Amino acid sequence: MGKKALVTGASRGIGAEIARMLAEEGYDLYLVCRKSGDKIEKIKNDLMSQYKISCETFLYDVSDFTQVESLCEKVKEVDVLINNAAISYVGLLTDMSVCEWHQTIGTNLNSIFYLSKCLVPGMVQRKSGKIINISSVWGCVGASMEVAYSASKGGVNSFTKALAKELAPSNIQVNAIAFGVIDTEMNACFTDEEKAALTEEIPADRMGTVQEAARMVRQVLNAPSYFTGQVITMDGGWI
């Protein structure tokens, strides 16, 4: 029986590329997104055709525990959990509504708790599993105009370190990757001038690619079992 991996936020960007990488590695996939049904179905069909793996797709809002419970009743168990789903709010804290705050924290941080709560028991029972949380450098240093996003990713980093200690005796590795600026649709909110200003601050003099992000995930996925509780930064030398 093949190994199974679940990826959230899998319909685009880093998540879609991680799904492709896992298919290359021979994983059967559960791909989850909130509303991009057509996109995720195309990804599913492409991966099944090219890599001859099985793939199921689900439209669920992972910020909602009831929906996560429903998802996990269908999935039941996985060998690898990639918590990638995330949203961002760019603007002054004083302009942010309470609803927008809760949406950001719910998608970026609460979802990781919900999925871990549902799927970790099976990993513990099997004494095997890997959890990789997709984080951000803003969770390490904070970003002006992105307070909620920074707070959520800082929470992801601490969650990762703490859960890794809790699960290490069960041979389950928990790590996070704190990416810098990756060229994805999430950055569409920035103007060309703002993107250029961001790039000028990066020693590598460019944004990262989703392919590079997925390769980094592959390296963490295939790291020795002693490698756990780490928040790895990949940001072109920015921090």
Domains and CATH numbers, the chain: 4-234 (3.40.50.720)
**What average pLDDT does this structure show over 68-84?**
97
pLDDT at 19 over 70: yes
- Asked whether 28 and 4 are in contact (CB, 8 A), the reply is yes
Position 191 scores a pLDDT of 83
Position 186 scores a pLDDT of 75
**Residue 43 to residues 19, 37, 47, 55, 104: CA-CA distances in angstroms?**
9, 10, 6, 9, 26
Position 1 scores a pLDDT of 65
**pLDDT (tens digit per residue) in 165-215:** 999 999 999 999 999 999 988 777 778 888 888 899 999 999 999 999 999
Position 46 scores a pLDDT of 98
**What average pLDDT does this structure show over 47-54?**
98
With pLDDT > 70 as the criterion, what percentage of the chain qualifies?
99
Q: What is the DSSP string of 48-115?
A: HHHH---EEEEE--TTSHHHHHHHHHHH---SEEEE-------S-GGG--HHHHHHHHIIIIIHHHHH
Query: Is residue 70 packed enough to be buried (19+ CB in 10 Å), middle (13-18) or exposed (0-12)?
Result: middle
pTM for the complete prediction?
A: 0.96
pLDDT at 33 over 90: yes
Q: Which residues are designated catalytic?
A: 149
**Residue 157 to residues 100, 108, 141: CA-CA distances in angstroms?**
21, 11, 12
**What average pLDDT does this structure show over 72-93?**
96
